[in-house]
Amino acid sequence: MDDQKDIASFRKAIDQLDDDLLRLLNERSKNVVEIGKLKKSAEANAHLHTPRREAEIIDRLTQANTGPFPNEAIRSVYREIMSASLSLEGPQKVAYLGPRATFTHLACLQKFGNSAQYLPVTSIKEVFNEVERDRAHFGIVPIENSTEGVVNHTLDMFIDSNLVIYGEVLQEVSHHLLSKTGRIEDIATIYSHPHAIAQCRNWLETNVPKIPVAEVPSTARAAELSANDSTVAAIASELAGELYGLKVVRSRIEDNVNNFTRFLVLSQKPPERTGKDKTSVMLSVKDKVGALYDLLRPFASNGINLTKIESRPSRRKAWEYLFFVDIEGHVDEDRVKKALEEIKGRCLFMKILGSYPIHS
C-alpha cells in the first residue's frame, strides 16, 4: 500500500514538472518569435535557421548536464524544440530526394526536425531546382555512402549551380527486411532500391538464396508494394515500416554494420562561420606530370588538413578530371585563402562550393 502511495506522489511531482516544462516552452517560444521579427526587419532574406546558434545551445546543455537524462536524448529533444520554434517564425521549406520514408527523408528529420515543411521530389536535379527557384529554403542531397562510394550526379550538379553547401548530415543506413505478416515463409519476392540490395547482398545470398530480389526506384516504393501484398517483402528503413504498417521480418540485415550516407544541405546563402567548419572545393587540373602533387602541396604548406579527395572524369574533354576536395577550415581564414589562391593559378577550373559547420 505504501508503495502505491509513493508511486502516486512521484507521478504527481512529474505532472507538476510537466506543467512547468509546458509553461517554459511557451515562454521560450515567445522569445523565439520576437527574435524572428527582428531578423526579418534587419534583413528581408535572412535565414531563420542558424546552425551556429543551434550548436551553441546543444553544446552548452550537454556540457552542463549532470544526468541521469542522457546527452543524446538532449540532442533529440532540442532538435524538435528548435524545429517547432522555427516553424513559429516562418515555414522552413526543405526539398529532398523522395519519396517519404527514404534515408534522405530520415536525414531531413535529423537536420530540421518534424516541424519543417518537406517537399519530396523525384531527382537530385529537382532538389537543386527547387532551391534555385526559391520554392524551398534548403535542399538535401546524398553525396557519398561508406559502402557504395560517391554520388556522381550530385557532384555533376554543382558544376553549373550557384547554390552553396550550407551543412552536412551523416545518416546511419540500417536496412530491415519488412513484410505485411512478418513471416519469412510467406515471402515470394523481395523488392528494394539497387543500393540497398547491394548493401545486403551477402545476407540475402546466405539467408534467402531462393527468393528472387527485384529492383524498384526507392526503398519507400518497396515498402508500399509490401503493404499491398502479403507475399512481397521490402528492404527498407524502420520509418518506412512504421509509415506503411509493416512488420520486421529480420532487422539490420546490411552486410556492413558501419554503413553511413553523407548528405549535403543546399542553400542560396552561406551559413555563419562557427569556428568548427570545413570547406568543399571543386577543381580541374592541367594534364601534366606532377599536377596532383602541385594541387595538394599548398594545403600541406599552409597546415590545412584534407578530409576527402574524390576524382571523376569532367565529361568535357578526354582525360580531364574534376577533383572534389574537402578541407578543414573556413574560406575566410587567412591560411585557407592563401592556399586556395596558390592553387587557383594551377587549375583549369576552380569553384568554392561552400564553407559550413563540421557535422558533430
Which cell numbers in the block locate residue 147? 559502402
d(CA 82, CA 76): 10
Continuous segment of H or E residues that includes residue 93 = strand 93-97
d(CA 284, CA 320): 7
**37-46: long-range contacts at Cβ-Cβ below 8 A with a sequence spacing of 24 or more?**
39/89, 40/90, 45/269
Catalytic residue among 102, 104, 219, 261: 261
Among this protein's residues, is 263 annotated catalytic? Answer: yes
For residue 110, count CB atoms less than 10 angstroms from its CB and return exposed for 0-12, middle for 13-18, buried for 19 or more.
middle
Residues present in the chain in total: 360
3-state secondary structure of 297: helix
Sequential DSSP letters for 338-357: HHHHHHHTTEEEEEEEEEEE
Neighbours of 286 (CB within 10 A): 11
What totals of helices (H) and strands (E) does the chain contain, helices first? 12, 15
For residue 213, count CB atoms less than 10 angstroms from its CB and return exposed for 0-12, middle for 13-18, buried for 19 or more.
middle
Catalytic residue among 112, 128, 138, 263: 263
3-state secondary structure of 296: helix
Query: What is the maximum alpha-carbon separation in the chain?
Result: 86
Sequential DSSP letters for 178-199: EESS--GGG-SEEEE-HHHHHH
**Residues noted as catalytic:** 261, 263
